[in-house]
Amino acid sequence: MWGRCSIRRHVIIGSGAAGISAVETIRQYDSQAEIIILSEEPHGYYSRPGLAYLLTKELNEAQLFPFSNNDFKRLGVRPHQARVTKIIPEQHLLELGDSSCLGYDRLLIATGAGAARINVPGTGLRGVVKLDSLDDARRILSLAGRRREAVVVGGGITALEIVEGLVANGVKVHYFLRGDRYWHNVLDETESRIVECRLEEHGVKIHYNTELGEILEKKGRVGGVSTVDGRKMRCDLVAIAIGVRPRIKLAQDSGLQVDRGILVDEFMRTSAADIFAAGDVAQVYDPFSGKSIVDSLWGPAREQGAAAGLNMVGIEKAYSKPVAFNVTRLAGLTTTIIGKVGHGEDPDLLGIARGDSETWRQLPDSIAAQQDFEVNRLRLMLGAETILGAIVMGDQTLSHPLQSLVAQQVNISSIRAKLLAPGAPLADLIAEFWTQWVRAHVPQYA
Ligand SMILES: Cc1cc2nc3c(=O)[nH]c(=O)nc-3n(C[C@H](O)[C@H](O)[C@H](O)COP(=O)(O)OP(=O)(O)OC[C@H]3O[C@@H](n4cnc5c(N)ncnc54)[C@H](O)[C@@H]3O)c2cc1C
């Protein structure tokens, strides 16, 4: 397919956030290198988080694409649709789906993560959907137009996005939760109930302690479901969102070290020479937890891609994983999740979901301080001297200050006792503390 070339050749597998960010960085520092992007994704580079807004019709498809053809031209690259089937690290060679081979000098694996599969009969029936890609979103929209009732199974952000998308398209939704509340290991009980109430206000029927047993067939497609405890329910669409799995098989089959993701060092290098990994597929050292962790977050995917790109062009720069955060929408309520806020397992998820981080559930000893006002809620997880994590629901005024206070591990001892006093005005205390801290530490405000 391609001849080997004398100039340095960078090959990127995956045209998502991590892959494209790496391309931008490589080109910034090396105008001559040959860069080849290979991706099996037929639609190239688009915003996956934006798919939720496509379902609710708040965005159209064109708005999901951050790059035009001119942007790719400017970078001197053209994504090729191809599936990489094998990496042969010793020969610096790739095998592609059409049986051709391609050599590389430096390789980035940015293959992302795919929806975890549920192990029940009937998943192959027409009318069973997931939400990973633009094609999945189109399928959901086309089915929603003709279906009246759906069952959604799973947890985390993606399950909610599908629920909201279906509701916005006039579908009656039954939402199955295996446990007794939504997103058990990240949200606390009050936050789960806020989300659940908002769903119910929009007509969603939540079935607690309910596990999908089988998807039932009617005329060759979904006709209903049965639950593990023997109940049967009619529906014509079933959506599964029980978490994501980093796509590590390619790396694993090539002998690279993997765990839950592809293991990388601080320079985004895998265990094989000249092969890097970044984004949802990479398992990266997290200085805040001291563990090697997996995220499914757009921002970190771009940052890791940029770090990999720098190291691929020979500029050694360590990647220091920042505190994981996400500003998202839970049942229509803007919510920021920062740092360590929960722990344990979620019965509705296998591992993490989209827009989720393993660090959010690694909470050590801490005390919660919370405040509810109107539709808003603020929860802080307090360690001995710092804020370990926070959830901001509704009013987002404190989202940015809290991201900084958690990330910079700012000592909050001077207000800790006040924060923990019964009925403490948390938002006011944090706002005041932040103003003083900025004045003392940011030169232009001194
Ligand atoms: C519905 C949805 C909602 C989300 N919500 C949020 C959110 O609220 N906040 C947030 O921060 N993040 C969110 N995310 C997650 C975010 O989109 C991902 O973290 C990010 O896209 C990861 O980028 P990536 O480059 O690592 O992988 P991807 O964008 O998944 O790209 C990987 C690419 O590699 C290709 N590929 C895989 N294997 C091969 C192969 N063998 N050969 C060739 N190509 C291959 C795939 O086709 C794909 O195009 C959401 C994602 C989805 C789908």
Rounded Cα gap, residues 346 and 156, in angstroms: 9
The per-residue pLDDT for 446 is 63
3-class DSSP state for residue 28? helix
Check whether 3 has a pLDDT greater than 90.
no
74 CA distance to ligand 1 middle (Å): 23
pLDDT band at residue 290, thresholds of 50, 70 and 90?
confident
The per-residue pLDDT for 36 is 96
112 CA distance to ligand 1 middle (Å): 5
In short, whether 254's Cβ falls inside 6 Å of ligand 1 is no
Planar angle of CA 229, 175, 331, nearest 5 degrees: 155
In short, whether 286's Cβ falls inside 6 Å of ligand 1 is no
Amino acid letter at 53? Y
Q: Whose CA is nearest to atom 9 of ligand 1?
A: 355
The residue with tokens 């509701």 is 167
Structural domains in the chain, sorted by start? 9-114+245-312 (3.50.50.60), 117-242 (3.50.50.60), 325-445 (3.30.390.30)
In short, whether 12's Cβ falls inside 6 Å of ligand 1 is no
In short, whether 277's Cβ falls inside 6 Å of ligand 1 is no
In short, whether 159's Cβ falls inside 6 Å of ligand 1 is no
Taken in order 299, 300, 305, 310, the sign of the CA dihedral is positive
Task: Locate the ligand 1 atom nearest the alpha carbon of residue 132 and give its number.
Answer: 53
Of the listed ranges 75-79, 268-272, 292-296, 379-383, the least confidently predicted one is 75-79
388 CA distance to ligand 1 middle (Å): 28
In short, whether 114's Cβ falls inside 6 Å of ligand 1 is no
HSE-CB at 361 with a 13 A cutoff on CA atoms is 21
Q: Whose CA is nearest to atom 27 of ligand 1?
A: 112
Instruction: Tell me the average pLDDT of the chain.
Output: 94
Amino acid letter at 292? S
Task: Locate the ligand 1 atom nearest the alpha carbon of residue 19 and give its number.
Answer: 25
Which residues are registered as beta bridge partners of 9?
34
- With a CB cutoff of 8 Å and minimum separation 6, the contacts of 254 are 86, 87, 88, 89, 272
Q: Whose CA is nearest to atom 2 of ligand 1?
A: 49
In short, whether 250's Cβ falls inside 6 Å of ligand 1 is yes
pLDDT per residue as tens digits for the range 350-396: 989 999 999 998 887 778 888 888 789 999 999 999 999 999 999 99
Alpha-helical runs (H) found in 254-332? 298-312
Cβ neighbourhood burial of 7 (10 Å; 0-12, 13-18, 19+): exposed
pLDDT per residue as tens digits for the range 195-223: 999 999 999 999 999 999 999 999 999 99
Q: CB of 397 within 8 A of CB of 426? A: no
Task: Locate the ligand 1 atom nearest the alpha carbon of residue 280 and give its number.
Answer: 26
Cβ neighbourhood burial of 38 (10 Å; 0-12, 13-18, 19+): buried
Check whether 6 has a pLDDT greater than 60.
no
159 CA distance to ligand 1 middle (Å): 16
pLDDT band at residue 288, thresholds of 50, 70 and 90?
confident
